[in-house]
Every structure is written in structure tokens, then in C-alpha cells.
Homo-oligomer: A and B are copies of this chain.
Amino acid sequence: MSQSLDRALTLLTHLAKEPKTLDQLAEEIGVHKSTVLRLLRTLEEHHFVHREGVRHYRLGTALFDLANQSLEQRDVRRSAEPALAALNERTGHTVHLASYEDGEVVYIDKFEGHHSVRMYSRVGKRAPLHCTAVGKVLVASFPPRRRQDVAAGLDYPALTASTITSARDYLAELDLVAERGFALDNAEHEDFIHCVAAPIRGARGEVLAAASLSVPRVLLDLDGLLALVPDLLAAAEEASARCGWTGHEKGNQ
């Protein structure tokens, strides 16, 4: 809708990868360099980008300032932190906190596993709903009608051999998830990783977010992963308690 703003935001995402020069940016987004220069100047005034030397621009500090302010607002994150940090400490595996947004999963916190295998995820990153354990937990928390709408709107790209590829299968999986209270991603997103996830609930029993454990298959087979479920559930319940959850009502949406 707003051309210059649109371009400026595009610039920012391009700068995220690495510092770039004016010309590079101009070429990448297909806009005349004088225009890019002017946009960058405005961005710089607001500390959204920063000049490095004379010719390189990189992302500026306003970005993390805003991001941190905003994250502090997200009560789930703050409230869940201790429980998830402890889970990470205890198991040594990667812990994610994620929420639903616009037909995708968004990671809102992450605790790195102690082993050296790094996952390709990051706070703020988005992931599909159909092949992640957190996605399943979140969608499974919706009332049936909404579940169907969401399921019908997905694409189901097969990211690995075991990815669920149809709305029918997905809905069946969601029933299972809702019933047993946790979700499994059996190498459906990345070949070498499998995960379990559980919901974190708020005061009215509504699901605020999902917490997951992600483990490389070389470290732990499926049974080993499932053995961690009680730990995960305990952490999710502790986090829920911190978010105001009291009873055991299941509470939809």
C-alpha cells in the first residue's frame, strides 16, 4: 500500500543477512540507488540501520530495542521462561516456545541444546503448522470448526518422507494430539530431528503457546524421546501455572 515504506521494510529484511552496500541493496530490491539512499537515511535517523564504515549498512539498534520491549510485553514468554530454562537444563535438549499467528507457528523463545547439533530455528522465525509438534498442539487447541478451517487452508508440502500431506490425515492427527495432551513430530519437518510438544495454558484454560523439546535422532530414538514426555508435560504445567492456569478444565480458544 505504501510504496516507500514497503521498500524500506524490504531493505531491512535484506540487511538482516549481512551488511550490504548501497549499490547492492539498490540492485537487490530493484530501485534506483538514490532512492535507496534516502530511505536508508531515514532508517538511520531512527537507528533502524547503522552505517559501518563509509559504504556498508547493517541493521541498527532500534530493532533490538523494540523487539525486547515487545517481548517483555508477551507475558507468556516471561512467565514460561523459568520452567523452560529448567527443562532445557535438565534434559540438555533444545526447547522452543511457540505461538500461533496467521496460519503459521512463530517461535517466541528458544533454549539451545547442550550438544553441538544446532537447529535451524531462531526467535521470531516462522514454521509450518502441519509438520511441527508445536503447530499440532496449537491447532489442536482450536474448536473443531476452526481446526477444520485451518487444516483446509494449509499447503502440506512434504518436507521429509514422513510429513503429513493431507488435511484428512492432519485432522486425524489433531484428534490424537488433543486426546493425549501432547504432540509428536516424528522427523516430519527435518529429517534428522524429532520433537514432542505440549500446550501452555492461561487463566481461563485457553492455550497461550506451545513448548517443545527437539532432539537429533542420532542422540535418542523414538522411545527415548517419548520417555522425555513426562518432563515436558511437567514443565508445561509449571509454565501454565505461572500464566495463571489453575484448574484442569481443558478450555477451548
Contacts and interface: CB of A to CB of B under 8 A. Distances in A.
Contact of A59 (B69, B108, B122): B69
B66 A67 contact: yes
Q: Which of A61, A101, A123 has the most CB of B within 10 A?
A: A61
A8 B39 CA distance: 12
A5 B39 contact: yes
Contact of A38 (B2, B8, B67, B69): B2
Interface in A63-114: 63-73, 101, 106, 108
Contact of A18 (B13, B73, B122): B73
A244 to B, nearest CB: 18
A4 interface: yes
Contacts of A31: none
A17 interface: yes
Nearest to A2: B42
Interface string A121-134: 01111100000000
A64 B58 contact: no
Interface stretch (A43-51, A176-184, A197-205): A43-51
A209 B184 CA distance: 43
20 contacts: A1-B38, A4-B4, A6-B42, A10-B46, A13-B62, A15-B70, A16-B66, A16-B70, A58-B70, A59-B66, A59-B70, A63-B66, A65-B123, A66-B67, A67-B124, A68-B122, A68-B124, A68-B125, A69-B122, A72-B122
